[in-house]
Structure 1
Amino acid sequence: MIQQRQPRILLHTYPRWFYLPAALVYSVFFLIPTALAFYFSLTRWTLFDSTFIGFENYSDFLRDPQLVAGLLNTMIYAVITSGLKVLIALPLAVLFTSAIRLKGLFRSIVFFPVLVSTVAVGITFSTLMQPSNGLINTALGALGLPQPDWLGNPSLALYSVALVDVWKGIGIAMVIFSAGILSIPLEYFDAAKLEGGAWVAFRHVILPISRNATFTVILLSFIGGLRSFDLIWTMTHGGPGFASDVLTSVIFKQYQAGFYGLSTAGNVVLFILVTIIVYPLTRAFNRLELEL
């Protein structure tokens, strides 16, 4: 009996060994660093030693006035960028999947900013948005329009960077929407044309069937907005003052100042914030998908 059962046991457990390489990679590059980050957030540490201080870093971090401004700016930035990407990318995807000439060229033009380095985009738009001799204000002045200080005005800086983020990321959102639209059977569009034309096709065919693509764009854009750093740091360094500081730039400033334990606690706060926001959104989207 033992000799008969042994091959069955081996046959049952054999495929599970293929999980081992992925489990090792996941543990080394995610689980272990995450556990170490949680531990070091409870310490005052340097490169050579550490002292356990409990939740003191968290209390100091949460009392920091920069954090309050950074949390609010992070949420504003994430909502603006994710919302505008949906509102702009969906019409573009509808346009570029229709029967128009040179649609491949137009898609390439819209997608091109995705391929450009974020730092290069930030430097370029910092030059274009110069208040005195930037190309944008020069064009506005030629038209007789106001010439604002896009990055130096505390009330405009965060929104100016958010618009640049939308310009850079709109291509990815358009590709996702285009894939969703192209997967719709042509018979649906033929039926919509009989009922009322393009608006009926958009309202009753594209919007409902592309809902999964919409959820994907919202989630990816929102997570990217919560974690955004490089574009904001390149264009404003979080300024003027704390006007465009987000949570990641506040954490980076703490690292620069040598408060490693405090900034590690900030990273844990960011991790928890992303989890608290994204997990319910994912569950809600999955529930809506099952109801369709």
Structure 2
Amino acid sequence: MVISSRADEARAAGPHGDAKAGRKGQRSTGVRSLRAQTYPYWFYAPAGIVYGLIFLVPTVISFYFAFTRWTLFDSEFIGLDNFRQFFSEQALVSGLKNTLIYAVVTSGLKVVLGMLLAVLLTGPIRSRGLMRSVIFFPVLVSTVAVGITFSVLLQPDVGVVSAVLAKVGITAPDWLGDPSTALLSVALVDVWKGVGLATLIYIAGILAIPKDYYEAVDVDGGGAWTKFRNVTVPLSRPATFTVILLSLIGGLRSFDLIWTMTGGGPGFSSDVIASIIYKTYQAGFFGLSTAGNVVLFILVTLIIYPLSRYFNSREVES
């Protein structure tokens, strides 16, 4: 009886009634889905508090103290004097150039080597799991331990690398003592330590590519190079963007490996902005070192933010 009465009501309402009921049902469904996707503001409060205490508050405070001459007990506002002094130092010009070179070299090599290793480790080879673990292992090792180890291995007289090259008749340079090779040597060690993470990101990106694309290349008679150029490289673009951003940020902020292996030397040949800031702070010029931190923050922001916007726009277009 209930079913028949509802059917009579529907017939009486006619087609307009059906349309209204349909629209009402769609609206109610949309409202329910929107409510299901919307979280209350208090849900974000813990993350917002942590973000504010760890990032926002220290950043604002550092911007203020960059304009002061301060110690642990008092501070004196001096305006832009810290920045004028910081930019008047010859070491800063050298450190800024070295920072950009270091970031570009390490980022570029991680992108290229990470992609090639990922293609190899997603292919039909034996012991893929073991090889992935071996390549990723340096990421887990302490940066200081890596720096100390390679400082010994790259010694010109007793180092293992120089001894191996001497066996084939090659005289090894003073890797860390020559101003022309010190920064590049540290950059290569940084690549060795960090390429495992880049490889892992690329492996995830390659495994997410549908197999249908590779099968289509097989049907067209394409080989491995065609698959790599026309399928793997373009469809791994999100992974490439991620590797570039992460490696650039790490390269611009790198300090511990450089300080452990060369201390910024010889001279200023391997000094970067982070090591200059540390030396300034170590000398007791706290306001000057804080100004250097602000300069580094602005440099990273000016490079990374436009790149991030550009990469996001390319992902939307594709």
Distance 1:166 1:14, change over 3 A: closer
Residue number in structure 1 paired with 2:303: 277
**1:145 maps onto 2:170 in alignment:** yes
From 207, 211, 214, the equivalent of 2:237 is 211
Residue number in structure 2 paired with 1:30: 55
From 86, 91, 109, the equivalent of 2:111 is 86
Residue number in structure 2 paired with 1:102: 127
* Unaligned 5+ runs, structure 2: 1-34
**Is the CA contact (8 Å cut-off) linking 1:77 and 1:159 kept in structure 2?**
yes
Of the structure 1 ranges 229-238 and 181-190, higher mean CA displacement relative to structure 2 is found in 181-190
Mapping of residues 140-179 of structure 1, within 5 Å: 140-179=165-204
Q: Measure, in 1, the Cα distance between the counterparts of 2:131 and 2:215.
A: 25
Of the structure 1 ranges 155-164 and 101-110, higher mean CA displacement relative to structure 2 is found in 101-110
| 2:313 maps to amino acid | R
Residue number in structure 2 paired with 1:262: 288
Residue number in structure 2 paired with 1:245: 271
Give 1:187 shift: 1.3
- Secondary structure of residue in 2 paired with 1:145: coil
Q: Measure, in 1, the Cα distance between the counterparts of 2:48 and 2:282.
A: 34
- Secondary structure of residue in 2 paired with 1:252: helix
Residue number in structure 1 paired with 2:252: 226
Q: Measure, in 2, the Cα distance between the counterparts of 1:24 and 1:282.
A: 25
Distance 1:154 1:14, change over 3 A: closer
Q: Measure, in 1, the Cα distance between the counterparts of 2:201 and 2:142.
A: 21
Residue number in structure 2 paired with 1:4: none
| 2:259 maps to amino acid | W
Residue number in structure 2 paired with 1:58: 83
Give 1:132 shift: 0.6
**1:19 maps onto 2:70 in alignment:** no
Distance 1:160 1:14, change over 3 A: closer
Q: Measure, in 2, the Cα distance between the counterparts of 1:193 and 1:215.
A: 28
Structure possessing the higher radius of gyration over alpha carbons: 2
* Unaligned 5+ runs, structure 1: 1-10
Q: Measure, in 2, the Cα distance between the counterparts of 1:85 and 1:285.
A: 18
- Secondary structure of residue in 1 paired with 2:40: helix
Mapping of residues 128-143 of structure 1, within 5 Å: 128-143=153-168
Q: Measure, in 2, the Cα distance between the counterparts of 1:193 and 1:200.
A: 10
**Is the CA contact (8 Å cut-off) linking 1:79 and 1:222 kept in structure 2?**
yes
- Secondary structure of residue in 2 paired with 1:280: helix
- Secondary structure of residue in 2 paired with 1:44: strand
Aligned length: 281
Give 1:106 shift: 1.0
How big is each residue's C-alpha offset from its partner over 1:195-254, in whole Å with a ceiling of 9 and x where there is no partner? 312111111110111001001000000000000000000000000000000000000000
RMSD: 1.2
Residue number in structure 2 paired with 1:8: none
| 2:177 maps to amino acid | G
Residue number in structure 1 paired with 2:141: 116
| 2:207 maps to amino acid | L
| 2:255 maps to amino acid | F
How big is each residue's C-alpha offset from its partner over 1:239-280, in whole Å with a ceiling of 9 and x where there is no partner? 000000000000000001100000000000000000000000
Instruction: State percent identity of aligned pairs.
Output: 65
Give 1:139 shift: 0.6
| 2:155 maps to amino acid | Q
How big is each residue's C-alpha offset from its partner over 1:31-65, in whole Å with a ceiling of 9 and x where there is no partner? 11111100100000000111110110001001111
Q: Measure, in 2, the Cα distance between the counterparts of 1:22 and 1:108.
A: 33
| 1:209 maps to amino acid | L
Stretches of 4+ moved more than 3 A in 1?
none
Give 1:14 shift: 8.2
Residue number in structure 1 paired with 2:214: 189
Q: Measure, in 1, the Cα distance between the counterparts of 2:309 and 2:238.
A: 13
| 1:213 maps to amino acid | A
